[in-house]
Copies of this chain bind each other. A is one copy, B any other.
């Protein structure tokens, strides 16, 4: 299929209504994509499904769009969260992009003892998530929280949600603990569990006190992805891909 432009809007979408677009979205459709009156594109807002919009008129500062056919109904997303330690700019953008493609409902940047950076531009990450959702046919945009300290997140965790912890330090070749932990991998998940979260540590792994705390929590399950040492963004992508594959095969 020749791909139609898809636009996420923070507005109600009802068949037959009209919608006004301004500023960034107007600029994108008019100046970047060169759409004219009569052109059609796709609209979604994360809750009403996806609609075909047609440009009714085009002014200097606004565009009026007719909400025509509904092309997709809203379907529930998987309820998977991703907790990750902020990393350098290209890596964090990559995590947000891939997590969006792979259906993550909520992204939680967490500050750990070995996190190198505590500057997270949440606005920029949101923009990355919107763009990725527009490009991957997703009907929602993941919720991105402000950075929080890992131990505080753990203290207020709802234990009904399992937390799958990827401790990269386990994956270093020859580590006996790693070999043992590998057995308790993602594949042991046979039940139809409604919600999960995946936690990816920073490059240096978790601190001893964090590991001690994690090992005491009943909702935590340690996982590892084989014998390889993976970068945080690779680990996140593979873990989410595996989670999806295992869940979706059951649906």
**Chain A residues near B (Cβ < 8 Å):** 1, 72, 94, 98, 101-103, 135-138, 172-174, 182, 185-187, 225-231, 234, 237-242, 244-245, 248-249
What separation, in Å, do the CA atoms of A173 and B137 have in the docked complex?
Answer: 8
How close is A230's CB to chain B, nearest CB, in angstroms?
6
The 17 sampled A-B contact pairs (Cβ below 8 Å) are A94-B94, A98-B234, A101-B229, A135-B231, A136-B228, A136-B231, A137-B173, A137-B228, A138-B228, A225-B241, A225-B244, A226-B244, A226-B245, A226-B249, A237-B241, A238-B245, A242-B242
Given A226-B248, A245-B225, are A234 and B185 neighbors across the interface (CB < 8 Å)? Answer: no
Whether the pair A248, B230 counts as a contact (CB closer than 8 A) is no
Q: A226-B248, A237-B237 are in contact. List 5 more A-B contacts (CB 8 A).
A: A135-B231, A137-B172, A137-B173, A137-B228, A187-B249
B contact residues around A173 at 8 Å (CB):
72, 137
Whether the pair A102, B136 counts as a contact (CB closer than 8 A) is no
How close is A233's CB to chain B, nearest CB, in angstroms?
9
What separation, in Å, do the CA atoms of A228 and B242 have in the docked complex?
Answer: 13
Whether the pair A185, B249 counts as a contact (CB closer than 8 A) is yes
What separation, in Å, do the CA atoms of A174 and B50 have in the docked complex?
Answer: 14
What separation, in Å, do the CA atoms of A225 and B247 have in the docked complex?
Answer: 11
How close is A201's CB to chain B, nearest CB, in angstroms?
14
Whether the pair A234, B237 counts as a contact (CB closer than 8 A) is yes
B contact residues around A230 at 8 Å (CB):
101-102, 136
Whether the pair B229, A137 counts as a contact (CB closer than 8 A) is yes
How close is A210's CB to chain B, nearest CB, in angstroms?
17
How close is A77's CB to chain B, nearest CB, in angstroms?
11
B contact residues around A187 at 8 Å (CB):
245, 249
What separation, in Å, do the CA atoms of A67 and B240 have in the docked complex?
Answer: 41
Given A1-B172, A225-B245, A245-B186, are A234 and B137 neighbors across the interface (CB < 8 Å)? Answer: no
Whether the pair A101, B228 counts as a contact (CB closer than 8 A) is yes
Of the candidates A98, A187, A238, A248, the one having the most CB atoms from chain B within 10 angstroms of its own CB is: A238
